[in-house]
Structure 1
């Protein structure tokens, strides 16, 4: 009933028209200048008011109220989780400046007194389309819709960007990195790969292995990562199917959730996507997009995961 009475701009599925970019810039975008703490705290008060507005808004339209991805009128959503950060806000603005389809960043709020440790919130536009889903269907590049080639172009272009320092492993603004697959979900910044690997291996444990021999074999396999000469490239950091949005025409409409983005060794993007489900559709898609050149790194990364999984799985 409401979809014929309520103005379209107020409805929960409204999205703003977006310009389609047929060429993604391979030139490193400028790092955005983020607002100061006082400004962020002022935006935080406004975002808090939007949070309460969303409770009524969702009730009015009979949709689920998500306290982490807050639905709003006028084609807006607000991300407010314990993982939302200034680093994510900066990464979103960088990739948007390069022409990659992402939610348009509007403001970043700071909440220093939030009891749930949700220190930052990001107000952005809603992305049209639906998220991809992984499956065990066979992958056939020739039969996929245009989103596949458009996403590969986005990845290729990002990987041409030059880091501020060729050896530094850090966020878009030179600070720490966050992610679901790293010890304590936060690390760095690191001046070089030696510091990076020292941190990654620090929680290695034989706890999950049936024998010391199996533990030593996994450690030896994982340590091979240290002997590769990898470039540092700009990386999404959580390259999974559910972070890819596709519109009704089969085009890439959004590349979302940049909370883990930053400058990583070049294999990190693909081994993140391919560590689980070797026979899955997404594993095959990621392999086709460039992951097939990192088979040795993938084996080492899987071994590293077995060695350190206790450091982040329960957090």
Structure 2
């Protein structure tokens, strides 16, 4: 029997070939079609979760449940298979017929009901896929038992992200659940760390930005803004200004992440900011420090990397995930604005929507910062 399922990309479709045994247990055969005229060799996943969508590596196609009725379409042309897609009957563990849903919804619905909630710290992965690689870090999507786990490793994997994720999760934000962080080994004098966290199935704004209307973009940004407003209300005044793990200030810029000492007061933090423009003339540095010291701001919990890659939505344009908290920490409330506008746009028009996503607007502080930022190291 065969069940056909459509991926988010209309140019790519998949055929699933379950192998039913006497006990009606099943495997998953996954096919990818290139240009709708060729079928690659399938990868069989036995007793594993369906392959989710993988960024930059094509689309995942999944089936959950038992095929009650279907067609053998292995000899059909893909266009004919697609035409027959709606004729299949699909059931999950009950006689009730379900509506066709996007794969992310099916994934969450099934595995939330069936997976073991306990995850061992010593995770053993049966398969993994590379999501991204950069100097000092690598991100993989790995299969552990009945779930997919995001697995980061490298010399630049700090303890700050795991602490920040736990803090954000405790405040009710949709963030990955951290399973563990550990030191793996030392290489060339550098410690290599890893962090393992849950996978959030959905679409990053980067992929769908050009398809969204202005109203849809504003709606998504407003959802994030409301989350940040809740996040920016400190339950108690932080004792220091800096990263969540209390070790340093993480100041990511165009080329690299810069680090500074933890600051006990806003005046100390202002001195740090001025120290980052050491290439500026003395008069400019003195003037900027004077402006910074004229006002006091609340110290709040900031994300510090509101990029389209880090905002995950479902098929209803609901924000279901905020990712990449490695730079998060307790900073003056204007810091979120500085970080948002100082990073290059990953999609056209991103900065134009800043007023819809940032909890508060600090036009004067931002103007002063953008004028001196040219003196910073990238």
TM-score of the aligned structures, taking structure 1 as reference length: 0.71
> Which of 170, 177, 184 is matched with 2:249 structurally?
177
Give the whole-Å Cα distance in 1 for the aligned partners of 2:246 and 2:335.
18
- How far did residue 217 of structure 1 move? 4.9
> Which of 101, 124, 135 is matched with 2:174 structurally?
101
* Deviation per residue, 1:27-47 (Å, 9 max, x gap): xxxxxxxxxxxxxxx96xx46
- How far did residue 71 of structure 1 move? 1.8
- Name the counterpart of 1:236: 303
Give the whole-Å Cα distance in 2 for the aligned partners of 1:287 and 1:85.
31
- How far did residue 234 of structure 1 move? 0.4
- Name the counterpart of 1:282: 350
Query: Which stretch has the larger CA shift, 183-192 or 250-259?
Result: 183-192
**CA spacing shift, 1:86–1:205, aligned 2, 3 Å:** closer
Give the whole-Å Cα distance in 2 for the aligned partners of 1:177 and 1:221.
20
- How far did residue 77 of structure 1 move? 1.3
2:190 aligned counterpart, secondary structure: coil
Give the whole-Å Cα distance in 2 for the aligned partners of 1:83 and 1:306.
26
Which runs of no fewer than 5 residues in structure 2 stay unpaired?
Answer: 1-14, 16-28, 32-43, 54-61, 63-103, 110-119
- How far did residue 10 of structure 1 move? 4.9
The answer to whether the 8 A contact 2:131-2:141 is kept is no
- How far did residue 277 of structure 1 move? 6.6
The answer to whether the 8 A contact 1:79-1:121 is kept is yes
- How far did residue 220 of structure 1 move? 3.0
1:110 aligned counterpart, secondary structure: strand
Which structure dedicates a bigger proportion of its chain to strand?
Answer: 2
Which structure dedicates a bigger proportion of its chain to helix?
Answer: 1
| More contact order relative to length (CA 8 Å, sep ≥ 6) | 1
- Name the counterpart of 1:264: 331
- How far did residue 104 of structure 1 move? 1.2
The answer to whether the 8 A contact 2:131-2:139 is kept is no
1:144 aligned counterpart, secondary structure: helix
The answer to whether the 8 A contact 2:271-2:289 is kept is no
**CA spacing shift, 1:276–1:69, aligned 2, 3 Å:** closer
- How far did residue 136 of structure 1 move? 10
* Deviation per residue, 1:292-311 (Å, 9 max, x gap): 621111112223321222xx
2:196 aligned counterpart, secondary structure: strand
**CA spacing shift, 1:65–1:260, aligned 2, 3 Å:** closer
- Name the counterpart of 2:108: 17
- How far did residue 276 of structure 1 move? 5.5
1:17 aligned counterpart, secondary structure: helix
**Equivalent residues in 2 for 1:189-268 (5 A)?**
189-206=262-279, 216-217=283-284, 220-221=287-288, 223-268=290-335
- Name the counterpart of 1:6: 45
- How far did residue 225 of structure 1 move? 2.5
CA root-mean-square deviation: 3.6
> Which of 184, 192, 196 is matched with 1:119 structurally?
192
- How far did residue 107 of structure 1 move? 0.8
- Name the counterpart of 1:26: none
- How far did residue 267 of structure 1 move? 0.3
The answer to whether the 8 A contact 2:153-2:195 is kept is yes
TM-score of the aligned structures, taking structure 2 as reference length: 0.60
- Name the counterpart of 2:374: 306
Give the whole-Å Cα distance in 2 for the aligned partners of 1:136 and 1:247.
13
Give the whole-Å Cα distance in 2 for the aligned partners of 1:132 and 1:237.
17
Give the whole-Å Cα distance in 2 for the aligned partners of 1:134 and 1:292.
27
2:180 aligned counterpart, secondary structure: strand
Give the whole-Å Cα distance in 2 for the aligned partners of 1:96 and 1:255.
10
- How far did residue 150 of structure 1 move? 1.9
Alignment partner of 1:161 is 2:262: no
**CA spacing shift, 1:79–1:229, aligned 2, 3 Å:** same
**CA spacing shift, 1:133–1:158, aligned 2, 3 Å:** same
- How far did residue 94 of structure 1 move? 1.2
**CA spacing shift, 1:161–1:71, aligned 2, 3 Å:** same
Alignment partner of 1:69 is 2:139: yes
- How far did residue 258 of structure 1 move? 0.5
Which runs of no fewer than 5 residues in structure 1 stay unpaired?
Answer: 19-41
Give the whole-Å Cα distance in 1 for the aligned partners of 2:45 and 2:342.
46
